[in-house]
Amino acid sequence: MARLSDIGERGAIDILARIFDRGQPIGLGHDCGVVEWGDDYLVVTTDVVNRKTHIPAGATAQQIGWYATAVNLSDIAAAGARPLGFVAALSMPADTDVEFLRGLANGMEECVREFGIAVLGGDTKEADVLAIAGTAFGRVRKERILLRTGARPGDAIVVTGDLGRAGHAAKMLEQSSGLRTEALSQLLRPYPRIADGMFFSESGAVTSCMDLSDGLGASLGQLAAMTKLSYQIDEAALPRYAGLTTLPPAVAKELVLYYGGDYELLATVRPDAIQTVLQRYSESSLHERRRLTIIGKVAPSGGNVLVTKTGKEPLLAKGWEHFRSSGIR
């Protein structure tokens, strides 16, 4: 009999999708699910953070609280939605320090305040290990929702911010670097790209979008599986986190392509509108804090490809995957 370790998270999701897919408005497999709400969609997402797979030694309660909230809001961002609220179910051992609970709540509160929403409630339960199940809600016009499907051949592929920040942090922790405090902050304080997602939605030119939680290769693999298109990435165009220059080139490349955890947004844009989108982004307040970079294009077929200085190589659909990946993510 097959186990989850044999089929991995993607296989588990495929089994669940076959059972649950009953023709919902947008189908399954996107960053959020939706409920029709007049001319809008109420978008809903949930994500679990637990001690074993997400929380490195030395992480503060406040960092954990921020992280558990931010990863959910990142999915709201990928849908192009405006956040509405957040709830959380906290499972904790009975011997958890009360001050840890306060720190956890303060981290969650800091994150929701940053995006103009509130923690609306939740649940607390006793458990053997710490686990936080967050659920975030948002709202978007039906015709403006961003999905993982919708790309067309010729579309430009863009990404917000830079890539490899979380991978670099993980490597620093692995090496027991003196930069441990900074590395923990890099890894556990992703900033949900809510404003970017809303910008993409309002542009009317973005054809698909998802957040980069599992890594560029895995994310593009998921997109290709849904759309049957080829996503061709220009390696030289990838916006790399500056700290990666301290690592061997092969290690840096692996982290940029396959580590994940950056929670940037990956999107496809109509070719006739890409220059307008880039110009409007550069004129917006978003440009003051980060960048939007063209990293490739969509093709009709040929598999996912990484275009290098010396030719082309397959862009593998690998990255973080629960039930298969080991260690801290």
Please tell me the predicted confidence (pLDDT) of residue 69.
Answer: 98
Average pLDDT, the chain: 93
Strand partners, 158: 267, 294
The amino acid present at 219, given as its one-letter code, is S
Cα–Cα dist 195/173, whole Å: 30
Strand partners, 35: 42
pLDDT, tens digit (0-9, with 9 covering 90-100), for 287-317: 777 899 999 999 999 999 999 999 999 999 9
Strand partners, 85: 137
Write out the CATH class of domain 146-314: alpha beta
Query: Is the pLDDT confidence value at 323 over 60?
Result: no
Please tell me the predicted confidence (pLDDT) of residue 320.
Answer: 58
| Number of Cα atoms under 13 Å in the Cβ half of residue 317 | 12
The CATH 3.90.650.10 portion of the chain extends over 146-314
Under CATH, which number does the domain 31-143 receive? Answer: 3.30.1330.10
Most distant CA atoms of the chain, gap in Å: 59
The CATH 3.30.1330.10 portion of the chain extends over 31-143
pLDDT, tens digit (0-9, with 9 covering 90-100), for 177-199: 667 888 999 999 999 999 999 99
Q: Give me the percent of the chain exceeding a pLDDT of 90.
A: 79
Could you tell me the end-to-end alpha-carbon distance of the chain, in angstroms, rounded to an integer? 28
pTM: 0.93
Please tell me the predicted confidence (pLDDT) of residue 268.
Answer: 98
